[in-house]
Every structure is written in C-alpha cells, then in structure tokens.
Amino acid sequence: MSEVIPIASDHAGFEMKEELAAWLKEHGYEVKDLGTNSPASSDYADFAHPLADMVSRGEVKRGVLLCGTGLGMAYAANRHPHVRAAVVWSPEIAEFSRKHNDANVLVLPARFLSPEDAGQILDVFLSTGFEGGRHARRVEKIEREEPTE
C-alpha cells in the first residue's frame, strides 16, 4: 500500500498544487486533495487546519501545503500539536528541514517557485530521513507544554 500524502492550497497555490498532486501520483503516492478546487480567492487557514489535523492525529505521516508565501499556511499548521510545518524554498532547506527538524509538513511559497523547483523540493523532502541523535532532543523541546521562566 502506498503512502497517503494530503495536499492543500489556497488560490495562490492552486495551479502548483495540481501539478504536485500529479507528480505525487506518478511517483506512487496516494494523494488526498483537500482543496482548494479553483483559483478563486480563498482563505489559507480553511485548508491548512484540516491537513494539519490529519498529521497531528497520526492519520498520515506528512503532508504538503501551498500558498503565496507559505507563511500563512505554516502559521496555521504549526498551531496543531506534533506538526512541524516548514516553509521551504530550496532543495537544501528541504533536506535540513527533514534531517535536523523532522518536519512533517512541507509548505511551499507558490508565488516564488517554478513548478520544476517545487517538484525537486518535494522529492528531496519525501526522500530525506530524520537524523535523530542530538536533533531528536531539540525536536522534543518543540513539543514542551510548560512555559519557560
């Protein structure tokens, strides 16, 4: 059974989302498209929260979000427990987001990437593992619930 990858965007990321969904299918992933379904104006949070909830509950291991800058999607997604949404603009950042931060949601700034670059970033994100070790301790600190003094 292939891994399920949910993908969602607002209007600014719609066209790129469609292209990346096709890329995912071509590479053997099962795609769960959570919208938006057109380039008509829409609110990023309406799409970020359902995807982040799936990751937070452990229903899927990782997901992909797109909006104009990536920032709005990341802000909304990172409000969910156990979600580490990373805004990524290069393959190198994708690699380190996985290796060092165990990012589980890739957020792409659709207005600032070519489809080719986005596909390459997605490929690196999906094929790179978490290094663990000293990075695991740091990632665990993200999940802390008690305030610091």
The fold of the 4-142 domain, in CATH, is Ribose 5-phosphate Isomerase B; Chain: A, (3.40.1400)
pLDDT at position 147: 60
Active site residue 100: yes
C-beta separation of 43 from 13 below 8 A: no
Total residues found in the chain within this entry: 149
Catalytic residue among 11, 27, 100, 135: 100
Q: Is the peptide bond before 148 cis (omega within 30 degrees of 0)?
A: no
Rounded-to-integer distance, Cα 136 and Cα 68, Å: 31
Rounded mean pLDDT, 36-48: 97
Tokens linked to 12: 């600014």
Active site residue 27: no
**pTM, whole model, 2 decimals?**
0.94
Q: Which position has the token pair 């802390």? A: 144
Domains of the chain, by residue range, sit at 4-142
Give tens-digit pLDDT for 104-129. Answer: 999 999 999 999 999 999 999 999 99
More confident residue, 22 or 141: 22
